[in-house]
Amino acid sequence: MELWLEKAGPWLEVLQRGVTVTVQVVKGRPRLVAMAAIATLSSVAVYKYITKNFDKWEKLGIPYEEGHFPYGSFNMGVISNMYTHLPEYHMKHCANSPYFGWYMFGQPVLNITDPEILRSILVKDFNNFVERSSYDGDFFKNGGKYDKLWGKQLTGLRGEEWKHVRATFSPIFTSGKMKGMLEFIKMTSDNMVEKFDESANGTDDVSLKKIFGCYTMDGLATAAFGMNVNSFGSEESLFTKYAAELFKINGLEVAKLMLKYLVPGMDFVLETFNINLWKKKETKFFYDVIKSSIKARREGRQERRNDLIDLMMDAITQDLPTDAEGQEQYEKDMTLKVDNNKAIDEDMVVATAMVFMMAGYDTTATTLSYASYRLSKHPEQQDKLQEEVDQAFADADGEFPDYSTIQSMTYLDMVIHETLRLHSPVPVNTREAGADYTIPGTNMHLKKGDLVSFVPTALQKDPAHWSHPDDFYPEHFSKEEKAGRSPYAFQAFGQGPRACIGMRFALLEAKVALVALCRKFTFLPSTKTQEPLVQDPSEQLLWPIGGLWVRLERRE
């Protein structure tokens, strides 16, 4: 005891002095005392709130990754950490368990590693897993006129409303409709080829993302907004400028959103006074573009183009037939049957065109960048693809292959899917249980509101399902290899009725670009790409530090 006192003595003295100083400072200052007490109590409350479920997985006795205050299992403050930590956890647990638990901030999430369980959740029992998560959807439901457009985005809509909008707009992406999109996409690919041609001397290092970003932006501008924009030109168009702004967020914007989230009654004020918090100038621009285009088409001042606007307008005024012919299993799985026939208004058309741009621009540009990079590193596979492309041009007497020829190019399809297998732009997908649910074949019970997740790149590199998990091996998508694994091991577009609605558009855009480029150029590796590829922590989406680069050589 004496020894302890001797050791603690100097610290006790410091503590005593600290208490004396604190008492002197706060004496006669009740406001300061109250503020300190409130700050302490709120910190304790926040801590308790976030950590209150941190023992859930341990209690259930399933494998899990511990939660830490405030982020959960890993630092969610750096979004791109999802690309590294979640696949790592999947690999650690998948051999011993079909699922494991992790924490997203304070929320427990059950991650599924078994494709057959995913089939149950995403397809068979879909009606119990319609929502991605309760964080989606309602945030912009009330507020100013332009903010409300963001509350109508397909990605975040919930329940019956989502089902109705999804079922209405799904038919615009059938293969019959995509055929009509080919002309628009081909036109934008000409500008892209010209741009690459400027540096095709075998020695210039070409940065891929910017060029493919212009290509996918122009493709969506013409197909979804009815605008011919040339992002490759020297002058930046308003469309490109405002679209780029939508992908940025600054401190003031974060503060405004926090205010909306935290202050009770804020929604009422924003709604009553029509106050917009989120990207008003940009949203108004896109709103006006589409509204005036719809008006001009209705009044016969603008010709019908059969682009996505025309098709969406058709979809809200009449039933578009779905063509089920030749569908693969996962396309059949996406079919959604809805009975109700509520009207959808033009604002929904505007909101949907905007979500197509948000969801389709960067994902497709990223896929094309990785595909070109992979081809530059794998000359054998590139030769094989060029052979297929040359044959398609020869069959079309030197013209660009038509839609059905592009769809029949099996190696092209394999190269794109293999790229997406290794480099899925979306790091994790989630579903929320709509009611209590027992995972088939297990005694794992989910409660209403529980969240499940699955990690595309991890499932897609799991050696249980893939013969060459770490290699670029397009033969993974040959008939034989496909027949030997669960189709639910490939999740780059998700699966089931809530999978990516734009998948066919994205694949067509990527195929047209690769056909046009492989016809004209050979990709060569560039030393400017930093290898091994490491996810850039400053990027929100999949992208490596230093970017992706190639060199190009013109073909004879």
Which positions lie near ligand HEM, rule CB under 6 A?
132, 154-155, 166, 355-356, 359-360, 363-364, 367, 425-426, 429, 492-494, 498-502, 505-506
Q: Nearer Cβ to ligand HEM, position 495 or 522?
A: 495
Structural contact between residues 551 and 205, judged by C-beta atoms closer than 8 angstroms: yes
Gyration radius from the chain CA atoms: 27
Q: How far apart are CA 177 and CA 337, in angstroms?
A: 20
Q: Nearer Cβ to ligand HEM, position 54 or 505?
A: 505
Structural contact between residues 215 and 192, judged by C-beta atoms closer than 8 angstroms: yes
CB of 225 to ligand HEM, least distance (A): 12
Select the residue whose beta carbon is closest to ligand HEM and give its number: 494
546: region left, alpha or beta (phi > 0 left; psi from -120 to 50 alpha): left
Report the DSSP pairing between strands 206-207 and 549-554: antiparallel
CB of 512 to ligand HEM, least distance (A): 13
CB of 352 to ligand HEM, least distance (A): 7
Q: Nearer Cβ to ligand HEM, position 267 or 333?
A: 333
CB of 405 to ligand HEM, least distance (A): 21
CB of 505 to ligand HEM, least distance (A): 4
Q: How far apart are CA 514 and CA 555, in angstroms?
A: 14
Q: Nearer Cβ to ligand HEM, position 67 or 474?
A: 474
Structural contact between residues 204 and 551, judged by C-beta atoms closer than 8 angstroms: yes
Those residues with Cβ within 8 angstroms of residue 48's Cβ, 6 or more apart along the chain or in another chain: none
CB of 66 to ligand HEM, least distance (A): 27
CB of 429 to ligand HEM, least distance (A): 4
CB of 159 to ligand HEM, least distance (A): 12
Residue found by looking up tokens 């041609």 in the block: 197
Q: Nearer Cβ to ligand HEM, position 409 or 542?
A: 542
Q: How many CB atoms lie within 10 A of CB 151?
A: 16
Q: Nearer Cβ to ligand HEM, position 138 or 383?
A: 138
Report the DSSP pairing between strands 451-454 and 107-112: parallel
Q: Nearer Cβ to ligand HEM, position 115 or 360?
A: 360
Structural contact between residues 90 and 464, judged by C-beta atoms closer than 8 angstroms: no
441: region left, alpha or beta (phi > 0 left; psi from -120 to 50 alpha): left
Q: Nearer Cβ to ligand HEM, position 385 or 507?
A: 507
Residue found by looking up tokens 């016969």 in the block: 300
- DSSP 8-class letter at 122: I
* CA proximity to 207, closest of 536, 551, 554, 483: 551
**Burial track 256-273 (b if 16+ CB lie within 10 A, e otherwise):** eeeebeeeeebbeebbee
CB of 535 to ligand HEM, least distance (A): 16
* CA proximity to 67, closest of 83, 78, 55, 81: 55
Q: Nearer Cβ to ligand HEM, position 491 or 522?
A: 491
Q: Nearer Cβ to ligand HEM, position 266 or 358?
A: 358
CB of 360 to ligand HEM, least distance (A): 3
Q: How many CB atoms lie within 10 A of CB 188?
A: 27
